[in-house]
A and B are shown apart, each in its own frame.
Chain A
Amino acid sequence: MDLVSDQEFLIKRNNNTYEVVIGLEVHAQVISNSKLFSTSSTKFGAEPNTQVSLVDAAFPGMLPVINEFCVKQAIKTGIGLKAKINKKSVFDRKNYFYADLPQGYQISQYKYPIVGEGNVILDMPSGQKEIGIERLHLEQDAGKSIHDIDPNNTFVDLNRSGVALMEIVSKPDLRSPDEVNLYIKKLRSIMRYLGTCDGNMQEGSLRADVNVSVRKKGETNFGTRCEIKNVNSIKFMQMAIIYEANRQVDLIEDGKSIDQETRLFDTKKNETRSMRSKEDAHDYRYFPDPDLLPLEISDKFIQDIQTDIPELPDEKKKRFIDKFKLSPYEANILVSDIETSKYFEAVIKEADVKLATNWITGELFAVLNDKNLEISDSPISANNLAKLINLIKDGTISGKIAKTVFEQMVDTNENPQKIVQERGLQQQSDPKALEELIDKVIENNADKVSQYKSGKDKLFGFFVGQVMKESKGKGNPQLINKILKEKLNG
């Protein structure tokens, strides 16, 4: 869980205070076995140019045919963003020349996107904040130009050419790097719940163009914005925003104006650089692709997708809070990743909710973090964790012993019952046996007993510790407490 400051992100210069206005254009790769307009595979990491059809390479006379599954995925995502689904949308050609763009144009949606306005809820410490979604449209990805293999030539890999992307455009509602972090994570969470984008930023499945402008606090008009192209990690987005916002503030403070332009973020130097100015901006000559008819979607088509929508993070969180009495904080942690929520729900099917929450967010997360593992690769299955919790709950082992068992489970993923049995770790809960141990401790520490009786209450802990030691850590702490109190106070 990210620690988010509730403080406003403001930049102060001289006597002026500026706020930052951010809008994101997120490019999310659609989960689909084949490309948006061809049947080639979309599998990541294949040998260059092995997943390229004649359509992807734009051979003469080749025509695009829309992949219905990708359309469904876009609609699904739109529903997840609580957005309007447009029953008629149009594919346009965005014309420009580049070596990794075989058609000489990208098929995208310009005037009539498949999904219209929606929103995403961010959980801020001070409460919820709604970020508006302007639109979502489908488009093709380009190929990849590789400049560093040969000093004189550029190599082109078309495996990615034609892969379906959803461009999700936010309204300029974001005000800080923290909000951007939460927004991206929430978007990713929703798409993973829906199975429409895996959100893997290392593999480039999720990247964003970041629009940044600044204005004096209290001002209602927007400042001139700059667009930082193609940033592929949240950390870089945040760094780029901080750099860019400060650069713009400096310009304003120096009495200069900001040029509307496209910039690149240099991750090594941690700065943004001008890529092209508005004057040099491409004229993409958008026009409806005459090879494709307008995309018309029936109500039935949308309804069928609707029935296929799983419980999404916001609803799940609400259910966790209402039904399991989790705190909003706990619920957030457990729902933000779909796999975590699945794990949690599997554990609580068989075990106590409160203990499950604590063990998952405490011990388990620590181990996963330490080993750099996803919860889906957890060394401890949900089933075994539930068993462990039940052993605590029914008093077979203490919480302390449970930690020992847990450690062994991490290494072996064994059934905790088996570990407890084999190692004889059952809790000592026989009052008579405990009484014997307690008597022994009292006998051996007569001086401490009299000190305790004369008012040194703090010594109680010492006695508990001694009895625990005598029981080799297996004594039932509640029982020990109870009997000790009776004996010492009696």
Chain B
Amino acid sequence: MSNITNQTLSELIKNIKSKKISSTEVTKAFVERSEKSKKLNAYITDNFSSAIKKAKNFDEKPNFELKLPGIPIAVKDLFCTNGVKTTAGSKILNNFIPSYESTVTQNILDQGGILMGKLNCDEFAMGSSNETSFFGNVQNPIKENLVPGGSSGGSSSAVAANLTPVTIGTDTGGSIRQPASFTGTVGLKPTYGSCSRYGIVAFASSLDQAGPISKNVKDASILLEVISSFDKKDSTSIEFKRNQYSEELTNNIKGKKIGIPKEYRVEGMPQEIEDLWRKGIEYVKECGAEIIDISLPHTNYALPTYYIVAPAEASSNLARYDGVKYGFRSPGENLIDMYEKTRSEGFGEEVKRRIMIGTYVLSSGYYDAYYLKAQKVRQLIKKDFDEAYTKVDAILTPSTPSSAFKIGEKTNDPVSMYLNDIFTVPVNLAGLPGISIPAGTDQKGYPLGLQIIGKPFDEQTILNIAYSMEEKIGFKNQITDWWI
């Protein structure tokens, strides 16, 4: 089969199960394409030879009952993988090889998935363009010198470029949905507490969630089914009845009420985005859903709230990278000197900026004015959604305020970079599920995404809405393989 890497996850599963292709063939095809795609810089660490060996093992003793039978998958380098280097895109973990497996990747392995490698990302997932990675920029396969979004930029690039059938990223403020939007792929951030955070390098603990990036909605639902699980090792993991998301996937959304929040019409939003949104509304109407105007009055405060809460948690979460136990160490005259040198040299600019902000907002005398107030606003933002969900089943918004930008275009303007997350951040603050699907392109031909936000633990509804919209939209990514 010549076009293995073009196939969706569900096609690959079907073809492996029906023995039309072997896991080895599939794995080799993706490895080969990945090797030809070094220019994208999507990988930090490859696990190719081990993956091919594992694929052979699978083919010798196949188990077709598994949900990911012999499927090779590359994952964001934020997931700790047993015996495979895990860097979080940072120099400070450049030499770190975990002796343990994150719950989410373990779930993938348990279902027959094969680890193909570790994908590039912004350092400690802090960034919206993958430009803060110690391991360099990632190219968007849509066009040369275009960012793939971030922080899961290696992941979105790899899926769009067919280097892996699907992948998992993490989303703290939009890090799955925004890169999906920039690369014409599907990205889902599950409800906080759905996927275990155990073994994921922490950025902001109260916001981080793992989720799938895929070529289509069906694939996202398959992968979500695999990675979502209750885990005693994560105290914030939540026990609830998880659906068989892919089996229950339906394009029947008749009578579903979909909210359109007026506050998401932000000033200066390009007309193309506005048009896309309007088109999205038409699509869901055509599918039989009911459109309801809603208000999320505290939306304006989401971004500043996020940029207090997330750095605060990050400043504490990243304290463990001190050169004492593992990772990079720069020798010093004494302990304090060693700390200073290690952390000055080991962390990049953006990470240091956020550690500074986080340390500041938690400082005595500022805590009440910043962190405490931000937590209160966060509650208000959550209440906005609770209120809205008494009237609607889901909410439709654009994913991002713009399409992908050029590499280097925003690196010197952090605030303009932060604005990328304006539509995605409220969802993290409220702990809700959100999915971004490709819905069209702008004038330059760059993909644009629409976001569907759901009720807590109601991933099924947003998957179904996305599934039916996907059918109507009929989006096809225009990838020319310019890098090969």
**B416 adjacent to chain A (CB < 8 Å):** no
Query: Which residue in A59, A63, A287, A291 is a CB contact (below 8 Å) of B371?
Result: A287
**B421 adjacent to chain A (CB < 8 Å):** no
8 contacts between A and B (CB under 8 A): A59-B98, A61-B79, A65-B233, A95-B362, A99-B324, A285-B364, A291-B202, A292-B235
Whether A95 and B232, one on each chain, are in contact in the complex, defined by CB atoms closer than 8 angstroms, is no
How near does chain A come to B124, taking the closest CB pair, in angstroms? 10
* Of B108-116, B243-251, B313-321, the one touching chain A: B313-321
How near does chain A come to B353, taking the closest CB pair, in angstroms? 17
**B302 adjacent to chain A (CB < 8 Å):** no
How near does chain A come to B316, taking the closest CB pair, in angstroms? 5
Interface size class on chain A is: 20 to 34
Whether B325 and A58, one on each chain, are in contact in the complex, defined by CB atoms closer than 8 angstroms, is yes
* Of A101-109, A129-137, A328-336, the one touching chain B: A101-109
Complex CA gap A285/B312 in Å reads: 10
Q: How would residues 253 to 292 of chain A score, 1 for a CB under 8 Å from any chain B CB and 0 otherwise?
A: 0000000000000000000000000000001011100111
Whether B198 and A95, one on each chain, are in contact in the complex, defined by CB atoms closer than 8 angstroms, is no
Whether A63 and B197, one on each chain, are in contact in the complex, defined by CB atoms closer than 8 angstroms, is yes
Complex CA gap A61/B86 in Å reads: 11
Complex CA gap A318/B202 in Å reads: 55
- Point out the residues of chain B lying under 8 angstroms from A54, CB to CB: 99-100
**B479 adjacent to chain A (CB < 8 Å):** no
Residues of B near any A CB (own CB < 8 A)? 79-80, 86, 88, 93, 96, 98-100, 102, 197-202, 204-206, 232-236, 312-313, 315-316, 318-320, 322, 324-326, 335, 339, 359, 362-364, 367, 371
**A192 adjacent to chain B (CB < 8 Å):** no
Label chain B's interface by main secondary structure: loop
User: Beyond the given A60-B93, A105-B319, could you list 17 further A-B residue pairs with CB under 8 A, ordered by the A residue number?
Assistant: A57-B325, A60-B86, A61-B79, A61-B98, A64-B235, A65-B234, A66-B235, A95-B362, A98-B335, A99-B335, A102-B320, A103-B320, A283-B363, A285-B359, A285-B362, A287-B371, A291-B205
Complex CA gap A60/B326 in Å reads: 10
- Point out the residues of chain B lying under 8 angstroms from A95, CB to CB: 315-316, 319, 362
- Point out the residues of chain B lying under 8 angstroms from A98, CB to CB: 335
Q: How would residues 56 to 85 of chain A score, 1 for a CB under 8 Å from any chain B CB and 0 otherwise?
A: 011111111110000000000000000000
Complex CA gap A457/B337 in Å reads: 89
Complex CA gap A58/B317 in Å reads: 10
How near does chain A come to B382, taking the closest CB pair, in angstroms? 15
Query: Which residue in B197, B235, B362 is a CB contact (below 8 Å) of A61?
Result: B197
- Point out the residues of chain A lying under 8 angstroms from B199, CB to CB: 61-62
Query: Which residue in A61, A154, A156 is a CB contact (below 8 Å) of B80?
Result: A61
Complex CA gap A103/B232 in Å reads: 20
- Point out the residues of chain A lying under 8 angstroms from B102, CB to CB: 61
Query: Which residue in A60, A63, A66, A103 is a CB contact (below 8 Å) of B234?
Result: A63
Q: Which of B202, B320, B371 has the most CB of A within 10 A?
A: B320
Whether A104 and B322, one on each chain, are in contact in the complex, defined by CB atoms closer than 8 angstroms, is yes
Whether A102 and B98, one on each chain, are in contact in the complex, defined by CB atoms closer than 8 angstroms, is no
**A222 adjacent to chain B (CB < 8 Å):** no
How near does chain A come to B321, taking the closest CB pair, in angstroms? 8
- Point out the residues of chain B lying under 8 angstroms from A64, CB to CB: 235
Complex CA gap A290/B324 in Å reads: 24
With A156-B324, A287-B312 in contact, do A60 and B88 touch (Cβ < 8 Å)?
Answer: yes
**A293 adjacent to chain B (CB < 8 Å):** yes
Whether A291 and B235, one on each chain, are in contact in the complex, defined by CB atoms closer than 8 angstroms, is yes
Whether A287 and B316, one on each chain, are in contact in the complex, defined by CB atoms closer than 8 angstroms, is yes
- Point out the residues of chain A lying under 8 angstroms from B205, CB to CB: 290-291
Whether B320 and A58, one on each chain, are in contact in the complex, defined by CB atoms closer than 8 angstroms, is yes
Complex CA gap A97/B318 in Å reads: 11
How near does chain A come to B203, taking the closest CB pair, in angstroms? 11
- Point out the residues of chain B lying under 8 angstroms from A58, CB to CB: 320, 325
Residue in A closest to B196 when the chains form the complex, CB atoms:
A63
- Point out the residues of chain B lying under 8 angstroms from A63, CB to CB: 197-198, 233-235
**A93 adjacent to chain B (CB < 8 Å):** yes
How near does chain A come to B419, taking the closest CB pair, in angstroms? 25
With A61-B102, A97-B319 in contact, do A285 and B236 touch (Cβ < 8 Å)?
Answer: no
Whether A60 and B201, one on each chain, are in contact in the complex, defined by CB atoms closer than 8 angstroms, is yes
- Point out the residues of chain A lying under 8 angstroms from B93, CB to CB: 60
Whether A65 and B312, one on each chain, are in contact in the complex, defined by CB atoms closer than 8 angstroms, is no
Residue in A closest to B327 when the chains form the complex, CB atoms:
A60
With A283-B364, A285-B362, A293-B236 in contact, do A61 and B320 touch (Cβ < 8 Å)?
Answer: no
